[in-house]
Chain A
Amino acid sequence: MASPELHRFTLPNGLRVVLAPDASAPVVGVSVHYDVGFRSEPEGRTGFAHLFEHLMFQGSESLEKLAHFRHVQSSGGTFNGSTHPDYTDYYQVLPSAALERALFLEADRMRAPKLTEENLRNQIDVVKEEIRLNVLNRPYGGFPWILLPAVLFNTFANAHNGYGDFVDLESATVDNCAEFFDTYYSPANAVLTVAGDLDVETTKALVEKHFGDVPARPRPERPSFAEPAPQGEVRHEHGDALAPLPAIAIGYRVPDPVTDIDGYLSYLVLAGVLADGDGSRLQQRLVHQEGIVIDLNAGCGLFGPLEARDPDTFSITAIHAAEVSADQVVAAIDEELQKLAQEPPSAEELAKVTARWASTMHKEHDRLTNRTLGLGSAELLFGRAELIYELPERIASVTVDEVSAAAKALRPDSRALLFVKPTGGAQ
């Protein structure tokens, strides 16, 4: 793997720090993961965590509006942020000469972001455009990440739309922002990751210099978002005026990845056996033999595997021909799950999945942005940044019987079925 050498320490204010040196290219990645995502939004405030992410780019005590972007880019770097169910991340990837600058930029907004009415109004408009672009103005918008949780889950935290309702977004106030920041953006609630071309001692000193005087605040109590698995098969039909073809999403619950990671990984391997590559079971049957499905996917986590705590989702999605009934597709999938439940997959099927995951992880780690973010989220969610280097081996140790057991656990009497129906008429 790229470099399994990791250094970690915690500042007196509670900020957890992970350093992952690797000198293969003179570039460095810096990320901060805050332990708050859209599951923590209160009712009536849908989309707030994401809106607040936008505001964190809008200036801080030492940085005027626009300065953050300009300083990163004039240093030759790239940046972004993203909001997930359980965390919000921010990153910069830059030539290594800009390391101290990146630390300064992250520290300044962790210490004293400028939360103003003008910037809030501006970013509400920008976020609404983002939602129009990715959801409202396109076919299959929000499929399945916004639509499926609403069917699979019951509590507001797990079921609501993380992009947010326009009414909720528009009613956000600067004081909401201040409260959210003070509650959740404490250094004790964050992980700082620095990966790439760095000297450990120098970097440690720079981290202390820039983050050391971010005032300590309490780490918020993280509530449990646990809720029971669905009782029965919960069905929901969603009309999509822009979609030319019907689609389905089947959602199931998976084991808690924090307390039972190996159990969780058996579902990840199952997803590969079902849907990764032309030789996988569902691709072979539904797409290539019967030709009833146009495109099909299966996987853990609606943002990718190991990207959320419990409760998390296993999903199978398919776009299918209009003349094929959704129930026919579901029945075929159930049949294949049944076969796997009765007879475990072959060793070769698992070997294929294992080798492809090893490659996938290597490719992820070769891109510094992904490696930095992967280390940070693994440290935040699992307390183990090194998990990203251990995954290929752990995936390889999943047995055929465990995969069979996972298939057996995907029961029709405890799942969500989402049907996307084209309602636009003309094609």
Chain B
Amino acid sequence: MTAAKTHRSADEIGRTEAGPRPLPELGSQKVAVELSTVDTTLPNGLRVIAVRRATVPMVEVRLRVPFADPAGSSVGSQHAAVAEILANTVLTGTEKRSRVQIDTELALVGGELDAMVDPERLSFTGNALASGLGTVLEVLADVLTGASYPAEELEREGARLVERITIARSQPSVIAREALQKVLYGDHPYAKEMPEADEVAAVTRDAVVALHGKALLPRGSVLVVVGDVEPADAVAQIGEALGAWQGDGEAVQLPPLPKVSGGDLVLVHRAGAVQSQIRLAAQAIPRTDERYPALQLANLVYGGFFSSRLVENIREDKGYTYSARSHPEFTVHGATLLIDADTASDVTAAALLETRYELARLGLVPPSESEVDTARSYAVGTLLTSTSSQGGLASFLVNLVALGLGLDWLVAHPQRLAAVTPEQVAAAALEFFAPGNFTGVLVGDAETLKPKLAALGGVSFQ
């Protein structure tokens, strides 16, 4: 210790003369201002919800059209491929506007409009300066009623889609997601999140046009507008712009899903992987179930936020992972609980062991009152912050409405959370987090992983 001292030691840095200080109490919390809103259904069957939130001079637009494959099985069905091409080309031209004109009109009002599809729905997401709402609605109406699907756009977007799917499938998270959905739902159309290249190649323009006419329907769909608008005016504007959008029948909801039951994890080999994806899933309950608030808190305590048992164990104690989390995923029919963790190959089996241990422990050593209170405050607080922006509120709301709920559910949810008792959380933990309820997949280098996973058990090697 002869070198000149240029800085304090870690010990010196970590203490002051005054010593540790007490954590300040929370102040009093103001409540959020009440939102002014209109919720109505247009004559064409489209449900419209407009909410005033004038924090910035913008408006957010979300249109959600149930767009499921009516077939009972994705085997032999072209739906996923046709729907993908439709979503990728619906904004590439109408009778009145070219692709570039659509982009130009939107851009001049600071606007954007995108379409994407998944096994449940076709979603249009857009926004613009509030003064540009009319333009966004006009473009939206034009593509809904007059998308022309130019042949050369279909061809190019089809080729591009194949490449993009290839890129997506090189991502470990996508490999894991596709494998998990397959384990959970087999050939059910819900499991088919991306089409195959040969299916995309076989899509004809006629098929896209036919699907547009048959499935892109106002009845059963919902449009949410949030922003610096007067709700009644916005609804009138929407009625005028989208009144011409007509169609027979109702947009197609996802067929019921098989229940998820527990079982061995399926090991998916990914040669040379230096990290593994652990993905577990179990059956859960929808937001409308009276046990849902208790389940929501039990999930937070398990792995739903940073201060959870899973993160504190496998990240902050053991350093097995950067990212571990659990979360519910909802469909119109129900919900699943999903657990994700990515871990280095040499600690994958140990991380899986701890993940299962924490599942069992959640039921057997249920969340303490203080764990429940922490989770509750987090749930209430983050609901407030995540819905305090226009975009956050619009996205949250359109998801709720798709599940048959609305703004009133959002407003009342803090009270629902406040009423949950530790006993109810314990009951939810015991019922829904039992390790035997879970199944799933594990993606990684099989040769490296096998010896330890075989010793641990509960993993099947295909």
Residues of A in contact with B (beta carbons under 8 Å apart): 1-2, 24-27, 60-62, 65-66, 69-71, 73-79, 93-101, 104, 108, 111-116, 121-130, 132-133, 136-139, 174-175, 177-179, 181-183, 197, 213, 241-245, 276-279, 284, 287-288, 291, 294-295, 319, 321, 348, 351-353, 355-356, 358-359, 362-363, 365-368, 427
A78, A136, A362: most-surrounded residue (chain B CB, <10 A): A362
Assuming the contacts A25-B32, A132-B344, asked whether A115 and B111 have C-beta atoms less than 8 A apart, the reply is: no
Contact A351/B21 with A125-B319, A178-B8, A363-B56 known, Cβ cut-off 8 Å: no
Query: Contact at A108–B167, with CB atoms within 8 Å?
Result: no
Q: Is there contact, CB below 8 Å, between A288 and B156?
A: yes
A287 to chain B, nearest CB (A): 7
Q: Chain B residues with Cβ under 8 A from A122's Cβ?
A: 316-319
A78 near B8 (CB under 8 angstroms)?
no
B58 sits at the interface (CB 8 A): yes
Q: Name the one of A75, A183, A287, A362 contacting B381, with C-beta atoms under 8 angstroms.
A: A75
Interface string of B10-34 (1 = CB under 8 A from A): 1011111011111111111111110
Alpha-carbon separation in the docked complex, A98 to B109 (Å): 38
Which residues of the partner chain B approach A427 to less than 8 Å between Cβ atoms? 166
In the assembled complex, B389 has its CB within 8 A of some CB on chain A:
yes
A-B contact pairs, 19 of them (CB 8 A): A1-B56, A69-B306, A75-B381, A78-B382, A97-B30, A124-B319, A132-B344, A133-B322, A197-B30, A244-B170, A277-B107, A279-B103, A348-B108, A355-B108, A355-B129, A359-B128, A362-B110, A363-B391, A427-B166
Give chain B residues whose Cβ lies under 8 Å from the Cβ of A245.
163, 166-167
**Nearest chain-A residue to B14 (Cβ)?**
A114
Contacting residues, chain A, for B26 (C-beta < 8 A): 75, 97-98, 101
Asked if A367 meets B103 with Cβ closer than 8 Å, knowing A26-B384, A76-B380, A132-B344, the reply is no
Is A178's CB under 8 angstroms from B164's CB? Answer: no
Q: Does B462 contact A (CB under 8 A)?
A: no
Q: Which of B370-378, B395-403, B426-434 lies at the interface with chain A?
A: B370-378
Q: Any chain A CB within 8 A of the CB of B392?
A: yes
Q: In the assembled complex, which residues on chain B have CB atoms less than 8 Å from the CB atom of A101? A: 23-24, 26
C-alpha spacing A287/B172, complex, angstroms: 26
Residues of B within 8 A of A25 (CB): 32-33, 55, 384-385, 388
Task: A221 to B241: give the CA distance in the assembly, Å.
Answer: 60
- Is A2 a contact of B7 with CB atoms below 8 Å? no
Q: Is the CB of B29 within 8 A of A69?
A: no
* B392 and A104 contacting across the interface, CB-CB below 8 Å: no
**Interface status of B171 (Cβ within 8 A of chain A):** yes
On whether A279 and B107 interact (CB within 8 A), knowing A76-B382, A287-B160, A367-B392, the answer reads yes
Instruction: Assess whether B171 is in contact with A244, with CB atoms less than 8 Å apart.
Output: no
- Chain A residues within 8 Å of B109, by CB: 355
Distance of A101 Cα from B29 Cα, bound (Å): 13
Residues from chain A with Cβ under 8 Å of B102 in the complex: 278
| B15 touches which of A112, A129, A177 (Cβ 8 Å) | A112
**In angstroms, how far is the closest chain A Cβ from the Cβ of B226?**
11
Q: Evaluate whether A74 and B377 lie within 8 angstroms (CB atoms) in the complex, with A129-B343, A175-B10, A352-B104 already known.
A: yes
Task: Indicate if the CB atoms of B378 and A76 lie closer than 8 Å.
Answer: yes
Please measure, in the bound complex, the distance between the C-alpha atom of A201 and the C-alpha atom of B343, giving whole angstroms: 48
Q: Which residue of B lies closest to A278 (CB)?
A: B103
Q: Which residue of B lies closest to A182 (CB)?
A: B7
Bound-complex Cα distance A362 to B56 (A): 6
Q: Is the CB of A27 within 8 A of B99?
A: no
Cross-chain contact A321 with B163 (CB below 8 angstroms)? yes
CA–CA, A70 and B374, complex, Å: 7
Q: Which 3 interchain pairs have the tightest Cβ spacing?
A: A76-B381, A125-B319, A359-B110
Bound together, the chains give a CA A328 to CA B133 distance in angstroms of 40
User: Are A359 and B381 closer than 8 Å at their CB atoms?
Assistant: no
Interface residues of B in 160-180 (CB under 8 A from A): 160, 163-164, 166-167, 169-172
Q: A123-B319, A288-B156 are in contact. Are A95 and B103 (CB under 8 A)?
A: no
A21 to chain B, nearest CB (A): 13
Q: Give the chain A neighbours of B19 by CB distance below 8 A.
A: 61
Choice from B104, B273, B381 contacting A94 with Cβ under 8 Å: B381
How close is B309's CB to chain A, nearest CB, in angstroms?
11
Report the separation of the CA atoms of residues A121 and B159 in the bound assembly, to the nearest whole angstrom. Answer: 48
Complex: A66 Cα to B311 Cα, angstroms: 10
Tell whether, in the assembled complex, residue A111 and residue B9 are in contact, meaning their CB atoms are under 8 Å apart.
no
Contact A71 B23 (CB under 8 A): yes
Is A73 a contact of B103 with CB atoms below 8 Å? no
Q: Once the chains bind, are A27 and B388 in contact (CB under 8 Å)?
A: yes
Q: A123-B319, A288-B99, A363-B391 are in contact. Are A294 and B163 (CB under 8 A)?
A: yes
**Size bracket of the B interface:** 35 or more
B279-333: which residues lie under 8 A (CB-CB) from chain A? 305-307, 312, 315-323
From A183, A294, A353, contact of B167 by CB (8 A): A294
* Cβ of B410 to closest chain A Cβ, rounded Å: 14
In the bound complex, residues from chain A placing their C-beta under 8 Å from that of B169 are: 244
Q: Hey, what's the 0/1 contact readout for B234-248 against A, CB within 8 Å counting as 1?
A: 000000000000000
Give Cα A79–Cα B321 distance, bound, in whole angstroms. 19
Identify the closest chain B residue to A178 (Cβ): B10
Please determine whether B20 and A177 come into contact, CB atoms closer than 8 angstroms.
Answer: no
Query: Is there contact, CB below 8 Å, between A133 and B323?
Result: yes
A2: chain B residues at CB < 8 Å are 55-56
Complex contacts, B10 vs chain A, CB 8 Å: 114-116, 174-175, 177-178
In the complex, whether B148 has a CB less than 8 A from a CB of chain A is: no
Question: Which A residue's beta carbon lies closest to that of B300?
Answer: A73
Complex CA–CA separation, A367 to B99 (angstroms): 31
Q: Are A358 and B110 in contact (CB under 8 A)?
A: yes
Give which listed residue, A94, A108, A136, contacts B274 with CB less than 8 A.
A136
Alpha-carbon distance between A367 and B384 when the two chains are bound, in angstroms: 12
Interface residue? B272 (CB, 8 A) = yes
- Bound complex: CA of A136 vs CA of B273, how far in Å? 9
Is B6 part of the contact surface with A, judged by Cβ < 8 Å? yes
- Alpha-carbon separation in the docked complex, A77 to B29 (Å): 13
Additional pairs, 9, CB under 8 Å, beyond known A98-B27, A244-B167, A363-B56: A25-B388, A66-B316, A74-B307, A116-B10, A136-B274, A136-B275, A137-B275, A295-B164, A362-B110
State whether A115 touches B110 (Cβ < 8 A): no
**Which residues of chain B are near A69, meaning CB under 8 Å?**
306-307
State whether B55 touches A366 (Cβ < 8 A). yes
Residues A294 and B6 in contact, CB atoms below 8 Å apart: no
Task: Determine the chain A residues whose CB is within 8 A of the CB of B104 once the complex forms.
Answer: 279, 348, 352
A94-B381, A129-B322 known; A112-B107 Cβ under 8 A: no
Contacts of B306 in A (CB 8 A): 69, 73, 79
Closest beta carbon of chain A to B201's beta carbon, Å: 15
* Contact residues in A for B16 (Cβ distance below 8 Å): 61, 111-112
Contact with A along B117-132 (1 / 0, CB 8 A): 0000000000111000
Chain A nearest CB: distance from B59 CB in Å?
Answer: 10
| Chain B nearest Cβ from A368, distance in angstroms | 7
In the complex, residue of chain A having the shortest beta-carbon distance to the beta carbon of B312:
A66
Q: Chain A CB within 10 Å — which of B33, B92, B99, B167 has the most?
A: B167
**Residue on B with the closest CB to A101?**
B24
Select from chain A the residue with minimum beta-carbon distance to B160. Answer: A294
Shortest CB distance B158–A (Å): 10
- B57 in the interface, Cβ–Cβ < 8 Å? yes
Q: Are A179 and B15 in contact (CB under 8 A)?
A: no
B21 touches A137 (CB 8 A): no
CB distance from A62 to the nearest CB of B (A): 4
Expressed in whole angstroms, the minimum distance between the Cβ of B371 and any Cβ of chain A is 10
Set of chain B residues within 8 Å of A137, measured between Cβ atoms: 172, 273-275, 342
Residue of B nearest to A183 (CB): B7
Please give, as numbers and ranges, the residues of chain B lying within 8 Å of A321 by CB-CB distance. 163
User: Which B103-155 residues have a C-beta within 8 angstroms of A?
Assistant: 103-104, 106-112, 127-129, 153
Cα of A2 to Cα of B273 in the assembled complex, Å: 46
Considering the complex, give the chain A residue whose CB is closest to the CB of B342.
A133
- B106: chain A residues at CB < 8 Å are 277
The listed residue with most B CB atoms (<10 A of its CB), out of A179, A245, A367, is A367
Complex alpha-carbon distance, A61 and B16, angstroms: 8
Q: B54 CB to closest chain A CB, in angstroms?
A: 8
